[in-house]
Amino acid sequence: MIVVVSGLVYLFLAKEQQNRLAYRYENSALKFGLIGLDGKVILEPTFSRITNFNNGYALANAWRLSTIVSQKAEDENSCNWHDCVTDDLIIRKNGSIVKQIRETSLKSRLLSNAIYPFRAVETPGGCNIVGQDGQRVAGPFDRCLAMSGDLLIVQKDALSFLLIPGFSVRPLPGVIAANSGSSNKIISVCKKSGWGAVDRSGKFVVPPKYLAVENEKYGFVPVKVKDTEDGVQVWQLLDLRGLPKIKETFSRIDSIQPGSISVAVMKSGEQQMGIIDMKGEWNLPPSHDAVELVDNNLAIVRSPRNIERIYNLKLKSFSKPFKALKYLGSSLFAFKTSLGKESKFGLLNADGFIEKSPIFSDITPSRINSHESNNYPASILVDGKNRWGWIDGQGNWLINPQFDEAGTFAEGVAYFAVKPSLSNHK
């Protein structure tokens, strides 16, 4: 009898522990909802993550604890494969579910980026290609290797193909790997002889003989030619015919913008960065620790001692120095005049005029080139805790700081997140 009672008590306590862990897990993680530009909540906090909207659809996911809850679930931030299950969903702006999907690990990174018109979805029968609305447009395939714009590399029966959904399927004999990018002109693929790139017809425009081929931008294709004996990489810029567009080689090709490219060369055994134009002439000589091109005419340049300045490519002039700079979009920068736990961000325009003195804990860049770019997620201390809202380009609050997390606006909608209180459960 004692054994039976003890067993019942143990089962009761185990069930109660599972319920408590499930409640703690369910309510300790951030919950994501949707908000409009007018500050009105469109969807109450429901999901565990929501991406930006594209053509009326977004990816969301919601986790739930599995039947057997691991003791590790007592860690409120853990989500082990044996503790919980993630449901991947495609949703509309009102939060209604269009379709439940299971993403491939390859495409989970690509889904949140609006430049990809398709998604790769893993099913028991193979990998399917679906549109933004979740409807299948091609497949199933054995594997989905890579995506660049609307160009996809897939495999079926150990053979690789270039797929352009709705247009063509081209065999790619000997292709064993591929890299994702953003160009819809070419996509980099690999054969045993090396890396190259094929165009939309499946023809090799960059021969498969390089150590690496990066994403094409504005007609330039960076390729890695070799590694020197002392470990220095040698890169070159080709055109879409596979011919050298600039004769010089570089130890690094960082960013390509219309009219300018940030590159690095080796000087006295150290890598130094600068900016060249489309003909290979130096606009900013290579004497800097880091160069970040942020739009056609502006860059953030870091010099020794972690001093950062805005560089105007047209005027070939620098702003005054700052301890930290972050480009937000629309020629607006966030800046810090000091570093450390208590340092704050302010707002600065490209001419060096301070729009807002440093008061923000953090500011998130807008979606650059978006018509909704004049609003920025920002956080500030409220009662000792960081709270997120949205500000305009002068640092005025458009939506007051009240959330644990906030996203950039896309198609008039942004996500916000809150952490539910645990105090109501006993």
Strand partners, 249: none
**In the predicted structure, residue 154 carries a pLDDT above the cut 60:** yes
Counting every residue, how long is the chain? 426
Classify the C-alpha dihedral 184-190-196-199 as positive or negative.
negative
Query: Which pLDDT band holds residue 225 (cuts at 50, 70, 90)?
Result: very high
Identify the pLDDT of residue 63: 63
Identify the pLDDT of residue 374: 81
pLDDT, tens digit, for every residue of 89-124? 788 888 888 766 654 443 443 343 445 677 777 777
The owner of tokens 């425009």 is: 205
Q: What is the mean pLDDT of residues 54-62?
A: 81
Q: String of b and e for 224-250 (b: at least 16 CB within 10 Å)?
A: beeeeeeeebebbbbebebeebbeebb
Q: What is the mean pLDDT of residues 223-246?
A: 92
**In the predicted structure, residue 228 carries a pLDDT above the cut 60:** yes
Token output for 381: 């201390």
Between CA 107 and CA 118 the distance in angstroms is 10
Identify the pLDDT of residue 102: 56
Classify the C-alpha dihedral 389-395-397-402 as positive or negative.
positive
pLDDT, tens digit, for every residue of 249-278? 999 999 999 999 999 999 888 899 999 999
Q: What is the mean pLDDT of residues 130-159?
A: 86
- Percent of the chain topping pLDDT 70: 80
For residue 318, the Cα-to-chain-centroid distance in whole angstroms is: 29
Q: What is the mean pLDDT of residues 154-181?
A: 91
How many other CB atoms are there within 10 angstroms of residue 281's CB atom?
9
Query: Which pLDDT band holds residue 69 (cuts at 50, 70, 90)?
Result: very low
**In the predicted structure, residue 288 carries a pLDDT above the cut 90:** yes
Spatial contact of 84 and 64, defined as CB atoms under 8 Å apart:
yes
- The secondary structure element, H or E, covering residue 17 is helix 2-28
Specify the higher pLDDT residue, 196 or 107. 196
Q: Where are the alpha helices (DSSP H) in 224-289?
A: none
**In the predicted structure, residue 78 carries a pLDDT above the cut 50:** no
Kindly give the pairing relationship between strand 332-336 and strand 345-349.
antiparallel
Identify the pLDDT of residue 421: 63
Query: Which pLDDT band holds residue 241 (cuts at 50, 70, 90)?
Result: very high
**In the predicted structure, residue 48 carries a pLDDT above the cut 60:** yes
Spatial contact of 163 and 144, defined as CB atoms under 8 Å apart:
no
Could you tell me the CA-to-CA distances from 209 to 215, 224, 259 in Å, in that order? 16, 10, 28
Q: Of the ranges 24-28, 88-92, 93-97, 229-233, which one carries the lowest mean pLDDT score?
A: 24-28
Specify the higher pLDDT residue, 374 or 359. 359
pTM over 0.85: no
Count of helix runs (H) and strand runs (E) in the chain:
2, 39
Specify the higher pLDDT residue, 46 or 204. 204
Identify the pLDDT of residue 89: 78
**In the predicted structure, residue 66 carries a pLDDT above the cut 80:** no
Specify the higher pLDDT residue, 19 or 358. 358
**In the predicted structure, residue 149 carries a pLDDT above the cut 60:** yes
Query: Which pLDDT band holds residue 24 (cuts at 50, 70, 90)?
Result: very low
The candidate with the shortest Cα–Cα distance to 365, out of 341, 347, 387, is 347
Identify the pLDDT of residue 97: 81
Specify the higher pLDDT residue, 121 or 179. 179
In the chain, the amino acid numbered 232 is V
Query: Which pLDDT band holds residue 361 (cuts at 50, 70, 90)?
Result: very high
Q: What is the DSSP string of 212-226?
A: EE---BTTBEEEEEE
Identify the pLDDT of residue 399: 96
Identify the pLDDT of residue 166: 81
User: 163 burial class (0-12, 13-18, 19+ CB within 10 angstroms)?
Assistant: buried
